[in-house]
């Protein structure tokens, strides 16, 4: 694989034109790379999106800084002033660091079935396997060791990194990025219990991925048992996520690493799910829901909002002390109920007044 191509340098004025921002200071300064406020030097641009890093802004040696109008007066360094500094930084970073694109064609050692249809502009890496009836679209990049199962299809400009696996009949849209080791279309966990053990239920659905989806390294997406498992357009999945069979993830939803989603969950559009959250099967999560990291979701969430179920961090000694009290809640509730009953029997009027207060 060739090294990543270099881009630029660009003037600050050029970057401002691409980001829709305005320049304060020398717009002719040349920028060839991005860096942090603390580490940036000559020819590098940094950004300030969080006010808590204002101290680093004061001492930065960056050639230029991306920031909002609220912070533009805090430094004399040439500034690119935008409404959303982090978004502008992302666009500049992409412009300065374009992905390496291998030449089209199949590398030595690639195995492409004679019935597969591979676009002439696609690049197929060494030891990649393209199965019978598979379709690979224009300008796709299939890195070494990737396995594309029979009858699977991959849309234009999609990039699949080394050793990812698409099981048979998997459908992947255009402009998708699938990172190394991801597995799409493996069997869902469908088992029927018998007197002598477990009976495996055939999983005959597919995995269907929309356009512009990102799938992180070692993420696994199970094929549907009957219906398809569906990842809608623009969804972003981090590394090491487990998605069970028949799950549907809505457009523009972002899910952080190590999340586990059990089977037949429907997640709406524009949701955000924090790392290590666990979602029980056969529930629905509506549009615009945010779930904090580490939260266990055991019931449907239909209303937009932020949901969390993580007990605050504490010292081990205090956590143990609290855990003992939590275990006694049922006992304490029973004692309180008994005391209220006794109070009602001894002094009904007083009990009623106490309840009103």
Query: Pick from 342, 278, 272: which is nearest to 310 by CA?
Result: 278
Helical packing angle, 329-346 and 316-327, nearest 10° = 50
Q: Is 143 a catalytic residue?
A: no
Cβ burial 261-291 (10 Å sphere, 16+ → b, else e): bbbbbbbbbbbbbbbbbbbeeebebbbebbb
Which residues, other chains included, contact 193 with Cβ-Cβ below 8 Å and sequence gap of 6+?
199
In whole angstroms, give the CA distance from residue 38 to residue 36: 5
Query: Pick from 230, 226, 171, 185: which is nearest to 202 by CA?
Result: 226
In whole angstroms, give the CA distance from residue 151 to residue 206: 11
Determine which one of 17, 71, 245, 282 is catalytic: 245
Show which residues are catalytic.
245
């Amino acid at each position: 694989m060739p090294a990543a191509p270099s881009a630029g340098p660009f003037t600050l004025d050029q970057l401002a034109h691409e980001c829709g921002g305005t320049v304060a200071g020398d717009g002719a300064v040349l920028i060839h790379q991005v860096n942090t406020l603390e580490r940036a030097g000559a020819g590098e641009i940094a950004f300030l999106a969080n006010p808590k890093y204002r101290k680093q802004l004061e001492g930065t040696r960056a050639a230029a800084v991306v920031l909002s109008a609220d912070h533009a007066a805090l430094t004399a360094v040439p500034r690119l002033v935008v409404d959303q500094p982090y978004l502008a930084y992302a666009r500049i970073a992409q412009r300065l660091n374009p992905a390496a694109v291998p030449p089209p064609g199949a590398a030595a050692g690639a195995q492409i079935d004679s019935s597969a249809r591979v676009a002439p502009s696609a690049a197929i890496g060494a030891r990649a396997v393209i199965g019978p009836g598979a379709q690979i679209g224009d300008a796709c990049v299939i890195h070494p060791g990737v396995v594309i199962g029979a009858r699977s299809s991959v849309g234009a400009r999609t990039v699949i990194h080394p050793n990812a696996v698409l099981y048979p009949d998997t459908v992947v849209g255009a402009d998708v990025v699938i990172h190394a080791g991801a597995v799409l279309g493996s069997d869902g966990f469908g088992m029927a219990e018998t007197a002598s053990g477990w009976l495996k239920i055939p999983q005959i659905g597919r995995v269907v991925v929309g356009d512009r989806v990102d799938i992180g390294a070692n993420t696994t997406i199970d094929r549907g048992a009957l219906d398809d498992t569906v990842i809608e357009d623009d969804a972003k999945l981090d590394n090491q996520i487990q998605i069970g069979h028949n799950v549907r993830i809505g457009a523009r939803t972002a899910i952080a690493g190590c999340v586990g989603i059990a089977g037949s969950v429907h997640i709406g559009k524009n949701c955000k799910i924090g790392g290590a959250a666990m979602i029980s099967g056969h529930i629905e999560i509506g549009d615009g829901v945010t779930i904090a990291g580490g939260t266990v979701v055991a019931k449907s969430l239909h209303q937009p909002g932020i949901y969390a179920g993580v007990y605050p961090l504490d010292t081990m000694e205090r956590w143990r002390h609290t855990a003992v009290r939590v275990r006694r809640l049922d006992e304490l509730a029973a004692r309180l109920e008994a005391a209220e009953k006794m109070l009602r029997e001894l002094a009904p009027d007083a009990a009623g007044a106490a309840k009103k207060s």
